[in-house]
Amino acid sequence: MTARTLIADLAAHDAGPVKVQGWVETVRDQKRVQFVILRDESGSAQLVNPVNDDTAETAASISALMHGSFVTVEGELKHDERVKLGGLEVKIASLVVETTALDSPIDAETGIDKRLDHRMLDLRRPEAQLIFRVQTAIEHAFRTRWIDEGFIEIHTPKLMASASESRAELFEVPYFETTAYLAQSPQFFKQMAQGAGFGKIFEIAPAFRADPSFTSRHATEFTSVDAELSWIDSHEDVMAHHEALLTDAITAVVERYGDQIRDAFGIELQVPTLPFPRISHAAAKQIVEARGHTIERADGDLDPEAERRVSAHVAETMGHDFVFVTDYPDTVRPFYHMRHGEGLTSSYDLLYKGTEIATGAQREHRVEVLEDQARSKGMDPEELSSYLDFFRYGVPPHGGFGMGLARVVMLMLGLPSIRETTYLFRGPTRLEP
């Protein structure tokens, strides 16, 4: 039995018998010859079938082929520089239709909502598959650094007995005789690993936010990239790890897919220099005001337009796509962020090309301080007892970050929405497919 050859491997394959399998992109059915463009997960190739009495049965099958039908083809590989598609073609000896297909309800002009209705078909686009190959390279680079540096991968529960921060954006789930909540983040669980003596941990996993937003960067279910480190001196240690991690990932993507990204998305992806710029929250507000924007949020947190203007300032003055905005006021940070000075926290947001992709901080590890900070946020420490109790047995100084994977990929590739960079998007009005 002839082994399957991926289309991307045909160029290195000797002329002669081959078997290729994939789906039909186009058929050109001419009087004396038929051409089929076949695509698989690695690329596309031209198949040719001369029409004569000996090939009549195959010719009939090809004439009936619909776009998207999956076929198995055995034939003779020929290298020919005149063939525009890869400089090769396969002369069909046999063609087996594995599954037929209906006419596709979407095309290159179809809008995002209808494409999401037919996501399986949408994902057949080469640029769509490139998105997820880039995502794979990013995650592999993350894991490589983490494993090389002795991190432990954990898998935290997504069902929680109590609210992690507030119930405002939590999904409630009936759970036998009680109510559970879908986790907004693995925050408490990854801190627990510090008390367990794990030292350094990471997780790439789903998180859930009951947020009725319809923006290009929000989802009700998303993939969160999280890390937590023990024995840090400040949030600067977390930022240093975070920027090294992202630099590794972008380096891997540029080396493996830089040319394809340029061709598909018109993006000349550059590896960022280290260290990333750092700007305090107070200085960021001054930059925003100087650039003509007034932040109207009562707590002073940066709004999306402010983020864009801070990033524009950094790009213009420092030539960098990333910037850490540090030392946020405690009014806009959760109770477990360590505080310093007058109402400031040892925390940061990381902006990438004008959009926030991550929040990080040094955590408060002293239980009595945690209780006071929870009360200052109007929270009842009793409701946080399962979280607070493990601090009573000793937890080292630690910190970490949480980062949205789909946002990183969206901004890296210059795409308009995380709907493009999420395999199956979930939002306030979308639960299918």
139 assigned to a ligand binding site: no
Structure tokens at 315: 């790009």
Q: Which residues pair with 324 in a beta bridge?
A: 278, 350
Whole-angstrom Cα distance, residue 193 to residue 380?
24
421 assigned to a ligand binding site: no
Distance of CA 195 to the CA centre of its chain: 29
109 assigned to a ligand binding site: no
404 assigned to a ligand binding site: yes
405 assigned to a ligand binding site: yes
363 assigned to a ligand binding site: yes
Whole-angstrom Cα distance, residue 433 to residue 417?
18
Whole-angstrom Cα distance, residue 142 to residue 149?
11
406 assigned to a ligand binding site: yes
Per the annotation, binding residues for ATP are 356, 404-407
Per the annotation, binding residues are 165, 209, 356, 359, 363, 404-407
Per the annotation, binding residues for L-aspartate are 165, 209, 359, 363
